């Protein structure tokens, strides 16, 4: 058995933007996130994740439309709950969207979505996505209250934020893993699919596989980093092997 792997290609776009931020939508700029996505699929990814941020700091609109057309698996669009990005998602019609908190000051997503505080804003977005045939995942911390809120919103999927686990060590890491296990159990009992991700790499991912009913892990930075030495396809293949249990 194994957990499924979705590969996040944001940081491929980050490298492109370092040189081509002013003309990222032009042809012949590199590296191309779509080519990276196709290589990840060849390496065994079951889906491609990309975060279209409001500030377009890495992935840009054209990338999302091209990914939808080019990949053979599924597109998982990470997005903040803003009217502009919601409208784009409803144009692109990815298989999945993952709603995440978003701050312009953060380097990467720093925590889970607060489904309790933002319930009123989330409800119409979940309905619009469901009406369009798009499956919604909520990126949340492994907190029972957030699991219950996700269930009350009738979210079909949660992606448990593994950042605190990834950054901890020793007894603190064990405690974070226990929190993730309990959150996964509660989500499964509520009939919600369990995914997870953030900060996972080739070393720390193995213990995560004990999460009850874990379906999919979304991993980006570690795979893109490894790809500098072996290429995206091989880096993806190596992570797929890590997810076998």
pLDDT value of position 235: 98
What tokens does 149 get? 């809120």
pLDDT tens digits, one per residue of 191-207: 999 999 999 999 999 99
Active site residue 58: no
Give all domains of the chain, ordered by start, each with its CATH number. Answer: 4-242 (3.20.20.70)
Q: What is the DSSP letter of 57?
A: S
Residue 215: the pLDDT is 98
Place of tokens 């290589």: 39
Higher pLDDT, 171 or 106: 171
- Residue 26 predicted with pLDDT over 80: no
Residue 32 has pLDDT above 70, yes or no: yes
Does position 129 have pLDDT exceeding 90, yes or no?
yes
76-105 pLDDT, tens per residue?
A: 999 999 999 999 999 999 999 999 998 655
Q: CB under 8 Å to 13, separation ≥6 — which residues? A: 24, 33, 50, 58, 59, 60, 63
pLDDT classification of 233: cutoffs 50, 70, 90 = very high
What's the confidence (pLDDT) of residue 177? 98
DSSP-assigned states of every residue in 128-168: HHHHTT-EEEEEE-S-HHHHHHHHHTT-SEEEEE-HHHHH-
| pLDDT-above-70 percentage for the chain | 96
For residue 221, the SS3 value is helix
Whether pLDDT at 107 is above 80: no
pLDDT at 109: 56
Residue 67 contacts residue 33 (beta carbons within 8 Å): yes
User: Is 78 part of the annotated catalytic residue set?
Assistant: yes
Catalytic choice (41, 78, 102, 216): 78
Spatial separation of the C-alpha atoms in residues 130 and 134, rounded to whole Å: 5
Stretch 133-161: mean pLDDT: 98
Rounded to the nearest integer, the mean pLDDT of the chain is: 95
Please count the other Cβ atoms lying within 10 Å of the Cβ belonging to residue 83.
Answer: 8
* pLDDT score for 103: 66
Give the E-state strand segments of the chain in sequence order. 4-8, 47-51, 75-79, 96-99, 135-140, 157-161, 193-197, 214-219
Look at residue 152 and tell me whether its pLDDT is greater than 70: yes
| pLDDT at residue 178 in the model | 98
* 198 part of the active site: yes
| Average pLDDT rounded to a whole number, residues 6-35 | 90
Of the candidate ranges 12-21, 23-32, 43-52, 58-67, the one whose mean pLDDT is the lowest: 23-32
- pLDDT score, position 95: 98
User: Which member of 41, 198, 216, 233 is catalytic?
Assistant: 198
> Looking at the DSSP assignment, which residues form a beta bridge with residue 48?
7, 75
Catalytic-role residue among 11, 51, 58, 161: 51
pLDDT value of position 111: 84
């Amino acid at each position: 058995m194994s957990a499924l792997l979705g590969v996040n290609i944001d940081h491929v776009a980050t490298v492109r933007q370092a040189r081509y931020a002013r003309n990222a939508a032009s042809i012949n700029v590199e590296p191309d996130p779509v080519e990276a996505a196709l290589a990840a699929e060849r390496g065994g990814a079951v889906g491609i994740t990309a975060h279209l941020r409001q500030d377009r700091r890495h992935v840009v609109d054209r990338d999302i439309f091209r990914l939808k057309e080019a990949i053979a698996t599924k597109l998982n669009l990470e997005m903040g709950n803003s009217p502009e990005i919601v409208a784009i998602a409803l144009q692109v019609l990815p298989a999945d969207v993952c709603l995440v908190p978003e701050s312009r000051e953060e380097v990467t997503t720093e925590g889970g979505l607060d489904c309790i505080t933002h319930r009123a804003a989330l409800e119409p977005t979940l309905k619009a996505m469901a009406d369009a045939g798009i499956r919604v995942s909520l990126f949340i911390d492994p907190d029972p209250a957030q699991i219950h809120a996700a269930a009350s919103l009738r979210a079909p999927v949660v992606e448990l934020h593994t950042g605190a686990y990834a950054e901890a060590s020793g007894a603190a890491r064990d405690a974070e893993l226990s929190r993730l296990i309990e959150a996964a159990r509660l989500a499964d009992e509520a009939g919600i699919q369990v995914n997870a991700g953030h900060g996972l790499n080739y070393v720390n991912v193995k213990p995560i596989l004990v999460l009850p009913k874990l379906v999919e892990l979304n991993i980006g930075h570690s795979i893109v980093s490894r790809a500098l030495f072996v290429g995206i396809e091989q880096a993806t293949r190596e992570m797929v092997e890590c997810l076998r249990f």
